[in-house]
Structure 1
Amino acid sequence: MTESNRPFGFWTATALVVGGMIGAGIFVQPAQLAPYGWTGALAWLVAIPAAMLLAYVLSRLTAAHPGATGIVEIVGDAIGPLPGVLVGWSYWVGIVSANAIIALTAIRYLATFVPALTASPLATALGATTLVWALTALNLGGARGAGRFQVATTLLKLLPLIAVVLILVGLSFADTASFTAHQQAPFAADQFTTALTLAFFPMVGFESASLAAERVRDPARNVMRATMWGTALTGVLYVIISNGIVFAMPPAVVAASDAPIALFVEQFWGRGASLIVAAFAAISAIGCLNGWVLMQGEVPLGMARAGLLPSFLGRTSGRDVPTTAVLLSSLLASALILSGAIPGFTGVLTFMLQLTTAATVWLYFGACLAALKLGLVRLAAIIGLAASGWVLWGSGLEPLGLSIVLMLTAIPLYVFAVRKPKTARSSSAMAGPPE
């Protein structure tokens, strides 16, 4: 893809990073960490620097290989095509499962205004599936339009979070006792790994610009800037909002809430303000889903163009959209959503939440290995390996084991791809959009 045809500049790339990270997670994160008290508060002090460090490793890899289709190709070139395929495929599995979760969360927030959306598990599943396909249609219209939608929703989703920060700043001056009035659970070392995994999950997404490097103008410069600034901004918002809400309200009340941020705003600004927050939470989830629908096509596309997956996954439309990959991903996400409406399968999405973390972190692990092999930022890569391994272990043995099993399903596709004549793979990988 020529420089003039790359649709994403610095601001769109930053919107991909921020939009990919700030989705539904931050709007429920205080409830997940509230039971851990000081353990959860301190987990952010590890999760955010770890994310920043991993973001730096990925950015340096991308800057050193500006002509690559994305970080998966770079990992494959550095540590071998098969390991590259395995970590890239695992990441794609994580995207598909995350999209199912995000779509359901968006519908649950929209149900604040349209209760019929959650009148039954089937109604919720159908609403979420409809949302997935609406954003799929938007992305099939081209990356440029999807990128503009991402910028708009990212700006909108920041508004309620800034409002929460303003309330917390006001409380810190007017009523500092609010933050010490509620007894917090003391630090517990044996719970720290679990708390760290919970805190790290909403940080996932900082790699979005690296994955879509082929779409970014001047990727050697803009991917690094967008990734580091986007990750830093999001991390600061997370630690202020999550810890602020947990410490300003009774922990049991926060932990029991399905919408802790809306609950917090309602307590200090009234019911009307909380409804506005619910609306923006829905917008936030929809914007996040849009970014990940874009990524669910970009990851297989980059791997197919690099010759790591069959060429049919790299087929693009006249707007350079990987149609086959996008449609296949949305079909699988829809199947996952609808399975949650089947009696006896209602817990499948909770498990997929844990799987998403395990499946995506393998990419960070592979990127750190690639940096070590290439002699780039070795100290950061060593620390990043340790952090990735820690989060993988914290995700739980069952999700970790399943992520490995699903990762291995890429092997037949890889074998099929490499058996093709090299000339055919090269022409397929280098082909641009049809005229």
Structure 2
Amino acid sequence: MAEIRKELGLVAALALVVGNMVGSGVFLLPATLAPYGWSAMGGWVIALAGTLALAGCYAALSRQMPGTCGPHFYVEKAFGPNASYIAAWSYWIGVWVGNAALAVAVISNLTVIWPGLAGDPLLSALAAVGVLVLVTAINLAGIGAASFVQQATTFLKLMPLLAVLGIAAWLLFTKGSAAVVNPPSAMETDGVITSVTLTMWAFLAFESATVPADKIRRPEFTVPVATIVGPLLAGVLYMAISAAMIALVPADALAKSNAPFADFSAPFIGSQAAALIGVFAAISALGTVNGLTLTAAELPRAMALVGQFPQRFAGLNRAGAPAAAVLLSGGLAAAPVLLNTDRSLSGLFEFTILVATAAMLVGYMAVGLAGLKLLSGPLRFVGLAGTLYSLFALYASGLEATLWCFALIAAGWPVLLYARAKP
């Protein structure tokens, strides 16, 4: 078995967290949230506050147990192996289902240079599977290659974000209130509640640095810092972008857009430059697919090391990558894309993010409960806040997504029984 190399420092850990978070959410959610208007900002505020509570819980537990690979170790120490398995399995489901949504996001943004993708569900699904094949190959080359791609795409994805913020600032400076097509209005409770789960999608993977903790230098310092600072930076950026889109773009036009950033920019910088922004948005989502592929592969390996997953997934290839787990997670991510070729790009994206979010919230809730038990003093309130937020967001995800989530969680029990029967 290859020796585990500690290759990730603070910059790489932050790039993993921010890169995994700032992917499809900020680029496609403006269209998904358009029907809710300014109520969506209420969803962003609640999601950011809840995420920071959960991040505080993860950070405190990672400092208490440095170097442990995966949040399910926290749950196991608090409640035993069965509870940790449910937490790890549900979290893993959320990661690879989420990767399916991210692959769709890559293709959705590429419609600015390949319009035919938008009108051909089968072609767009096959293209999304091609994205998953590409990042699987990158991760099979080892964590060094995956980290390089992650840091490069994290830098590139800032360009379209800064471009949109720059255009919004210029409009507001030159035209003032005349540029605002949707002035601030009262928030509606239903719109806020629905927006919570959709906006929570953009915060998923804030805990990414805790999963490959055995590959991170100084984990007792690096992991907590990356886990807190990453979502805080991303959250501020998300809210600024969302507010600009809501204020300056007609809701009907925004809701119909496959590439909101490119469509927003086109009237001001031209269609060709706007298409370039769409390409950078696709690169951004590709970086997140890459980062979550690493996370999705490390989870089966971590579970296999403690006898909760078949042992063949514990091994590393010569490049230090968990090859069997990389291939499994990539193949599973392709399944929901190919099974839903009858949905439009936007419909497939929304369906997959709701299922992924519901599944990951189960894992988040388990860690919140673990924090409530294992942490002491004021930090227990962080665990309580994270648990309550997870329950609320799971309720907000809706019945269909929750039922899919529980069905996929139930499918994990035969895997556990098989792993225990064949150590």
Could you say whether these structures have the same fold, taking a TM-score greater than 0.5 normalized by the shorter chain as the test?
A: yes
Letter in structure 1 aligned against 2:320: D
Native 8 Å contact 2:157 2:284 kept in 1: yes
Partner of 1:292: 292
Looking at structure 1, the residues matched to 41 and 286 of structure 2 have their Cα atoms a distance apart, in angstroms, of 28
Partner of 2:274: 274
Cα gap change, 1:405/1:164 in structure 2, threshold over 3 Å: closer, same or farther? same
In the alignment, does 2:374 pair up with 1:378? no
Letter in structure 2 aligned against 1:393: Y
Partner of 1:408: 410
Give the SS at the match of 2:320.
coil
Q: State how many pairs are aligned.
A: 421
Q: In terms of mean alpha carbon deviation, does 15-24 or 190-199 score higher?
A: 190-199
Looking at structure 1, the residues matched to 261 and 367 of structure 2 have their Cα atoms a distance apart, in angstroms, of 34
Looking at structure 1, the residues matched to 258 and 184 of structure 2 have their Cα atoms a distance apart, in angstroms, of 20
Cα gap change, 1:418/1:125 in structure 2, threshold over 3 Å: closer, same or farther? same
Selected match of 2:389 from 387, 390, 400: 387
Native 8 Å contact 1:85 1:309 kept in 2: no
Unaligned 5+ segments in structure 2 are none
Letter in structure 1 aligned against 2:266: E
Looking at structure 2, the residues matched to 409 and 262 of structure 1 have their Cα atoms a distance apart, in angstroms, of 40
Give the SS at the match of 2:153.
helix
Looking at structure 1, the residues matched to 62 and 300 of structure 2 have their Cα atoms a distance apart, in angstroms, of 17
Unaligned 5+ segments in structure 1 are 426-435
Cα gap change, 1:227/1:317 in structure 2, threshold over 3 Å: closer, same or farther? same
Looking at structure 1, the residues matched to 343 and 201 of structure 2 have their Cα atoms a distance apart, in angstroms, of 28
In the alignment, does 2:31 pair up with 1:31? yes
Cα gap change, 1:38/1:129 in structure 2, threshold over 3 Å: closer, same or farther? closer
Native 8 Å contact 1:3 1:217 kept in 2: no
Looking at structure 2, the residues matched to 266 and 129 of structure 1 have their Cα atoms a distance apart, in angstroms, of 29
- Summarize deviations over 1:52-103 as a string: whole Å, max 9, x none: 1211111111111113122122222222211111111111111121111211
User: Map of 1:13-32 to 2, 5 A cutoff?
Assistant: 13-32=13-32
Q: In terms of mean alpha carbon deviation, does 106-115 or 12-21 score higher?
A: 106-115
Cα gap change, 1:348/1:196 in structure 2, threshold over 3 Å: closer, same or farther? closer
Q: CA deviation at 1:221?
A: 0.5
Q: CA deviation at 1:4?
A: 8.4
Per the normalisation by structure 2, the TM-score is 0.93
Native 8 Å contact 1:142 1:320 kept in 2: yes
Cα gap change, 1:167/1:343 in structure 2, threshold over 3 Å: closer, same or farther? closer
Letter in structure 2 aligned against 1:403: C
Partner of 1:161: 161
- Summarize deviations over 1:237-283 as a string: whole Å, max 9, x none: 10000111111222222222222221221133222321111110111
Q: CA deviation at 1:201?
A: 1.3
Partner of 1:221: 221
Looking at structure 2, the residues matched to 109 and 382 of structure 1 have their Cα atoms a distance apart, in angstroms, of 38
Q: In terms of mean alpha carbon deviation, does 283-292 or 314-323 score higher?
A: 314-323
Partner of 1:351: 351
Looking at structure 1, the residues matched to 50 and 130 of structure 2 have their Cα atoms a distance apart, in angstroms, of 36
Q: CA deviation at 1:298?
A: 0.8
Looking at structure 1, the residues matched to 236 and 164 of structure 2 have their Cα atoms a distance apart, in angstroms, of 13
Give the SS at the match of 1:257.
coil
Q: CA deviation at 1:179?
A: 5.8
- State the Cα RMSD in Å: 2.4
Letter in structure 2 aligned against 1:236: V
Q: CA deviation at 1:347?
A: 6.0
